[in-house]
Structure 1
Amino acid sequence: MKKKHINIDIETKSSADIGKTGLYRYALDPDFDILLFAYKTVNTDVTVVDLANGEKIPEKILRALQDPSWVKHAYNAAFEWFCLNQYGIQTPLEQWKCTMIHSMYCGYPASLEASGKALGLPQNKRKLATGKALIRYFCVPCKPTKANGGRNWNLPRHDLEKWGLFKEYNGQDVVTEQEILRRLNQFPVPEKEWEQWRMDVQMNAFGVRIDTNLVQGALTIDSVSTQALTEDAVRITGLSNPNSTAQLLDWLGREGVELPNLQKATVTETLEKEGIPDDVRRVLEIRQQLGKTSVKKYVAMDTAKCEDDRIRGLTQFYGANRTGRWAGRLVQMQNLPRNYLKTLESARNLVKQKNYAAVKALYGNVPDTLSQLIRTAFIPSEERKFVVADFSAIEARVIAWLAGEQWVNEVFATHGKIYEATASQMFHVPIEKIVKGNPEYALRQKGKVATLALGYQGGTAALIAMGALNMGLSEDELPDIVARWRGANPRIRDLWYAVEEAALQAMHTAQPQAIRGLIFRLEGDLIYGQSFLTVQLPSGRKLFYPKPFLQENQFGKMAIHYYAVGQQSHKWEVTSTYGGKMTENIVQAIARDCLAETLSRIHALGLPVAFHVHDEVIIDAPMDVTVDQICKLMADPISWAPGLILKGTGFENGYYMKD
């Protein structure tokens, strides 16, 4: 059946702030409505249906929304799909494709405006800049005033000129989206990735249940704790506002403790020193506790939860541009604080009872206790349990498999003690001696930090960033650790240089280069002048480096440069890469594909995944599902990765936690 294509964009209204609640809570709000529906087929002009003024979507388009012979395209298609279904227009997700995901797959920015600019769309094909003001005017509630007649919403009749511009803006979004798709069609997203995207949308729509009593208790206790800590600081310092950086620095100076700033690291470092006056120490501890921003995640949960106490939309498919990993949204699950409390259940119950005095008496540091309980606010559905399974040391496994570092592969195939085995290889000590109680056990720490830090061509700075100095290692011994680790892992070391050489050769010769199951290509098109350095992974998926060119880097070495969204600037700009960095991208991307494979297997069993974080899957499971079943799924061989030895570890529980 020959497929027909239609591009769609809608404009909507809701009382929910989509930036704080996400799409699903936004569309489930009682005030939600669709105002405009714009569409365009390949050979027709844009049509904008003014639903707010009573126009109807043509019957043939309504039929097309359900017809599998029509592929529906939209930019952030999850939005259009969910909103249309919520509006009463049934349209199956299987028939949709997302141009935003296509853009991100090819290494371009996520937003429609930024993607259009990065792709070099002509001005008349780009997103109109007038949109934000018009969305503020028509799509969010307005403040009732005497001048506006006490109304809560601006309707089309309140400003016909603005409404005309809004319709033009809506139509132009479809033009821009179609032009982006036209340029990306020569670089298709694999069908397996579209299946993964649809699973992600369904997972986000399913959501995860929140323990509302715990969230409300945490917010109440945090409010009491903040007031008590602030009052304590005022009593000690005599300052009108001890939260003021300027006032507090001045007070500290008068107390004989001069600090350059009150940043988290500075306060922590100062508290580790001896001889600080008791009052100063207490005030800095208060500053530290009041700065516990992770408690704000409770606010995010409370804002984003729907009427059924579920949060929806916690992950962004392909959110990590270079590797294709998922990114966190709303509560930012990727950076949840760890929990170390031995009595989590008791702490949870006290917080649910809003018992500030007991939490303070038993645990001392109230903000830290609340922070440790954040994970436990996520709970399974009624009469279900969480089955949580995590890939064990997946990056170390993948890089050893990819490089052919046989001794590491053998460790993972047998006892799995990679830190002890690494220390044994580095220091030529029998692994049997690296056990607790023996002096050789201290070497395990060096093996651990080296394994975690040095796989991607890092040196002493990478060890320090991984916390080597906090582990009690001195800076003087770090170069020796780097040299020993590289000597023990020659195949991994060679992989960095092989990856860099293959990428450079692909750039120099425009001919494909194949190494270790990877294919490096220089790809482009003659019509629009796009170009990419691509790396085809064992799974068949590709990594994209847009607009690549060769140029000397800061070290005077010829290096690959390409365009990307800067991590600091958030702008589309030139960046450079090298063998170790590309190896990191590749290894993390393969690890991501292993997770995707596991998600497909879980989906095939009909089990709902509530969410996943890094390499960990959290299943909203019936009581008869066991963690052993899921860990076995994770360890089963993957067809495109023969010889890759994977292992899952996990637990079952009535709430989420770090095991």
Structure 2
Amino acid sequence: MKSISIDIETFSSVNLQKSGVYRYAESEDFEILLFGYSVDGGEVQVVDLARGEKIPQEIISALTDDSVIKWAFNTQFERICLSKWIGLPTGTYLSPKSWHCTMIWAATLGLPLSLEGVGAVLGLEKQKLSEGKNLIKYFCIPCSPTKTNGGRTRNLPHHDIEKWEMFISYNKRDVESEMAIQNKLSKFPVSKTEWQNYHLDQIINDRGINLDMDFVKQAISCDEKFKIENMEKAKEITGLENPNSPAQLKDWLLEQGMETDSLSKAVVSELLVNADGEIHEALSIRQQLAKSSVKKYTAMENAVCSDSRARGLIQFYGANRTGRYSGRLIQVQNLPQNHLRDLKQARDLVKLGNFIALDLLYDSIPNVLSELIRTAFIPKSGCRFIVADFSAIEARVIAWLAGEQWRMDVFANGGDIYCASASQMFNVPVEKNGINGHLRQKGKQAELACIAHDSLVLTDKGLVPIQDITIKHKLWDGEDWVKHDGVICRGEKEVLTYEGLTATKDHLVWVEGKSRPIQFGEAATSKAHLIQTGNGRRAIWLGENNKCTEEMECKDESLLCPNTMHRLSQYTVAKFKQLKIWKIKRLPEMLSTKEYTFVATEKTYCRKAALRESKGKELPFIWGKGYKIQFSLSSQCRNMDIGKCRKCTPRFRDGQDRQQWKLRRGQYSFCSKKYKSSQQKNISNPRFQTRKLALCKKCCYKDDIQWHDKRRNYKRSRNGSYRTEKELETNPSKVRVYDILNAGKNHRFTVSNVLVHNCGYGGSVGALKAMGAIQMGLTEEELQPLVNAWRKSNPNIVRLWWDVDKAVKSSIKERTITTSQGINFIYQSGILFIRLPSGRRLAYVKPLIGENRFGGESVTYEGVGGTKKWERIESYGPKFVENIVQAISRDILAEAMLRLASHGFEIVMHVHDEVVLEVPVAKSSIEEVCRIMSETPTWAKGLILNADGYECEFYRKD
């Protein structure tokens, strides 16, 4: 016997998705129901363990024989479950060394991480049976007791013999499908080194990491106590039976004079700006109760095993285009940062259950609990953590790969890359806080990746704080749900808030009337309206139930005006919002939800004019305070300057509709039911033209205006602009900022209800803006010269981008092998392979040369896209370079972990480019760990690596 292919079906009362396989198999009622197997590719056999059949002894022996290769799709599940079945104690599992995973094999070729998905893409003759989900639900998880089923909590084979026979067939088919995948992929075997990396990953997952469960339980208790107390407080303030109910709270807010159509996190944050008194307190409580990051404590409680260790937290090859690792269960790849100076004190208070002191000492208990999440990970008794990570690993890799020697020299000499970059760009010496020190900022800007803000991102799971975004979340880019490559924290930077968005003023945003994004600061100072989800007039998402515009407009049709105002752009309806402290005093009040709207026309004795029935789906753009609006009083148009109210000329006569008040103050002059004109002599009856309509309300009740109308004036109005650019720029605040890598093909996502750019590769002016150029003191005029200077000083990196682009296209067109900078591009059997210096290959399935949205050539390939569906994905040179750099960085980390393991270090966790080691007290040192990590791989001659680290008694960010 050389190999055996295995698939099992199991039962456990523990939720597999929430708790993972390690905790799942620990359950007292855990049981293997069916054991399907094939020896050396022979006929598939199924052992019906649930009905008393026995697994042959030679098969049981093979499970512990490392000379026999065991195959399965997601072998971790079979290996851990069988470890429990043969009686191994918690923490001891079958050695992973002789287990090979078909799922990982598929991932190395860019295929989906599901048996069903791989089978569909490969077009297998024997694919996974679709009935499987229902059968698993019936036999593999507890059932609810009912009168019909006699009150039982579990379905056994004899409860439905027909289903059970189908289940046996399902189990057999899974083994057949797994074997068919092996045959299909046999031309592209996984390297021995990569199997070694996989086996080390399994050892790390088996080892797990210790959790301070006393602290975790107290944190959960503190959170629950906080929620109960605040719910009672909210009931006292509002008098509501359930103040956590959005419907009830919205009604209460309306009674207090604040109307809102949503109580999402983003909207609540906006409402809090202008709220005070009990309204502010009620909204603050709701905001605190909605804190989601503390749910990680519950995830810990769900995943922890009986020995207080959490296992299965890392997914090998989770990002299958680069091979990088990803998180599972607790999501250690995306833990909140800690910034509390007295971190240990706060932790001790929580662990002791001293919630009163915690409440007295800290402003926000949820925020404290969030920052303490990392500290729940502790070393076992007699050990401490040594945490080490690579320094600027991707910057070093791209410099080495491109042969940018001056950058490598800086790293080799331990120099300041920002000063060196500025010196290279401007041909003068630059020293930090010394000669030409002011240029360091420009060098720094050219080197940084990107920045962003700490706010709520629209995902397929709802609104999520940017720091809590994981690669599992799909982001809304204005057109579709897209994937991304994770969140980057950029430290503390100055931000400003405008139209509900809080961001650095350099960040790129989309505004109405512009086809390309502009700087956030420019948008704010020019009073431009931020676009919620894009320019394309595609369906947007709004409200708490993710209803698209088309659905909402059916209900709100009576509130919409199909006609346009002169010079005012039309955009898809987003949401209506009332600002309590400010009213539009130059136009009739808009879109009252309590009263009907009418067309304002100049008719004798102020008669009403019928509004034609609307079939449109778009709301005309409504400008804010101080904007000029043109009304046509006859066949011609004329400006109505609201800064200086001019008298009507004799040509337009001097009748009842003469403007007697400035529109900036006072009552409404158009058809207001509360105003009667006292003068009526020369009566004329001109009308507004059909496409120049205004709305007025029946009586003054509440103001409903568009969500983006935020106390600003049209910049062409000389007298209407009451806030200057300088005033905006002198009121920033400093907060932690983040950005998201590569959000879909359009490189954008929705945050705080508006569309913003993300960070990525390429180095254009737009990238510099998104990276913080203006925020760091650079002017708009300096950006293009700065880009040119950076590119001029880094010619090899720029050349690398487009050499790779050319090599990829040549390989696809000519079906051949091309080479650039030591990277091989190979077209084989309908797959583009990029062979890295380590020997590992990145795979792009069915590549084609197509045309991009700008009319140029682009490369597309098939893969799992932003919708988690198999689809065609677009790429280009700089993006391929990004994948290559990240993949090489991953290989460096993987090899460093192999070296650490060979030196006897026990890795309990790794996050991005950081490793966490559990080391006995007084054994080894930070210096030894960093030295081992900094060793250059044999395949990366000339690459300068460096690692830094620290020791800690509980996990934290140094």
What's the TM-score once normalised by structure 2's chain length? 0.64
SS class of match (1:544)? strand
1:541 paired residue among 840, 850, 861? 840
Distance 1:393 1:245, change over 3 A: farther
Which residue identity does 2:402 align to in structure 1? A
Deviations 1:66-101 (A, max 9, x none): 444432210001111222122118854222210000
Distance 1:461 1:615 in 2: 28
Distance 1:231 1:52, change over 3 A: same
Distance 2:352 2:361 in 1: 14
Distance 1:481 1:249 in 2: 50
**1:206 match:** 207
Q: Which moved more, 1:509-518 or 1:591-600?
A: 509-518
- Does residue 575 (structure 1) correspond to residue 873 (structure 2)? The answer is yes
Distance 1:89 1:299, change over 3 A: closer
Is contact 2:294-2:370 (8 Å) kept?
A: yes
**2:790 match:** 485
1:34 paired residue among 32, 35, 43? 32
Displacement of 1:6 after TM fit? 2.1
- Does residue 643 (structure 1) correspond to residue 942 (structure 2)? The answer is yes
What percent of counterpart residues are identical? 49
Is contact 1:514-1:520 (8 Å) kept?
A: yes
Distance 1:519 1:86, change over 3 A: same
**1:457 match:** 762
**1:58 match:** 56
Which residue identity does 2:321 align to in structure 1? R
Is contact 2:96-2:199 (8 Å) kept?
A: yes
**1:528 match:** none
Distance 1:563 1:246 in 2: 44
Higher helix share: 1
1:337-486 to structure 2, matched below 5 A, reads 337-427=336-426, 430-434=429-433, 442-443=441-442, 446-447=445-446, 449=448, 456-463=761-768, 465-466=770-771, 479=784, 481-486=786-791
**1:309 match:** 308
- Does residue 6 (structure 1) correspond to residue 9 (structure 2)? The answer is no
Is contact 1:420-1:434 (8 Å) kept?
A: no
- Does residue 160 (structure 1) correspond to residue 161 (structure 2)? The answer is yes
1:500 paired residue among 805, 813, 817? 805
Distance 1:112 1:161 in 2: 25
**2:725 match:** none
Which residue identity does 1:314 align to in structure 2? L
Is contact 2:429-2:435 (8 Å) kept?
A: no
SS class of match (2:27)? coil
Is contact 2:14-2:27 (8 Å) kept?
A: yes
Q: Which moved more, 1:460-469 or 1:400-409?
A: 460-469
SS class of match (1:432)? coil
1:216-227 to structure 2, matched below 5 A, reads 216-227=217-228
Deviations 1:575-618 (A, max 9, x none): 11111111111000000000001110011012211010000000
**2:194 match:** 193
Distance 1:425 1:256, change over 3 A: farther
Q: Which moved more, 1:248-257 or 1:552-561?
A: 248-257
SS class of match (2:833)? strand
Distance 1:7 1:536 in 2: 30
SS class of match (1:549)? strand
- Does residue 100 (structure 1) correspond to residue 80 (structure 2)? The answer is no
Displacement of 1:222 after TM fit? 0.9
Displacement of 1:151 after TM fit? 3.0
Is contact 1:419-1:451 (8 Å) kept?
A: no
Distance 1:435 1:319 in 2: 45
User: 5+ unaligned residues in a row in structure 1: which ranges?
Assistant: 525-530
**1:522 match:** 827
Is contact 1:455-1:492 (8 Å) kept?
A: no
Displacement of 1:426 after TM fit? 4.0
Distance 1:312 1:165 in 2: 33
Which residue identity does 2:356 align to in structure 1? A
Distance 1:402 1:77 in 2: 35
Distance 1:356 1:255 in 2: 33
**1:84 match:** 82
Distance 1:217 1:83 in 2: 31
Distance 1:299 1:76, change over 3 A: same
Q: How many residues align?
A: 646
Is contact 2:385-2:953 (8 Å) kept?
A: yes
Distance 2:869 2:882 in 1: 22
- Does residue 19 (structure 1) correspond to residue 10 (structure 2)? The answer is no
Q: Which moved more, 1:627-636 or 1:144-153?
A: 144-153
**2:700 match:** none
Q: Which moved more, 1:296-305 or 1:456-465?
A: 456-465
Q: Which moved more, 1:365-374 or 1:237-246?
A: 237-246
Distance 1:62 1:448 in 2: 57
Is contact 2:759-2:770 (8 Å) kept?
A: no
Displacement of 1:260 after TM fit? 7.5
SS class of match (1:214)? helix
SS class of match (1:547)? strand
Is contact 2:900-2:933 (8 Å) kept?
A: no
Distance 1:203 1:48 in 2: 32
Distance 1:284 1:393, change over 3 A: farther
Displacement of 1:54 after TM fit? 1.2
Which residue identity does 1:418 align to in structure 2? I
Displacement of 1:547 after TM fit? 1.5
Q: Which moved more, 1:337-346 or 1:554-563?
A: 554-563
Distance 2:275 2:419 in 1: 40
Deviations 1:119-167 (A, max 9, x none): 1213xx0000111111111111223344434433221112111111111
- Does residue 595 (structure 1) correspond to residue 893 (structure 2)? The answer is yes
1:110 paired residue among 110, 113, 137? 113
Q: Which moved more, 1:48-57 or 1:254-263?
A: 254-263
Deviations 1:211-254 (A, max 9, x none): 11111111111112223334444555555554445555666677
Which residue identity does 1:37 align to in structure 2? F
What's the TM-score once normalised by structure 1's chain length? 0.91
Distance 1:475 1:349 in 2: 49
**2:69 match:** 71
Distance 2:411 2:258 in 1: 51
**2:609 match:** none
SS class of match (1:379)? coil
Displacement of 1:477 after TM fit? 5.9
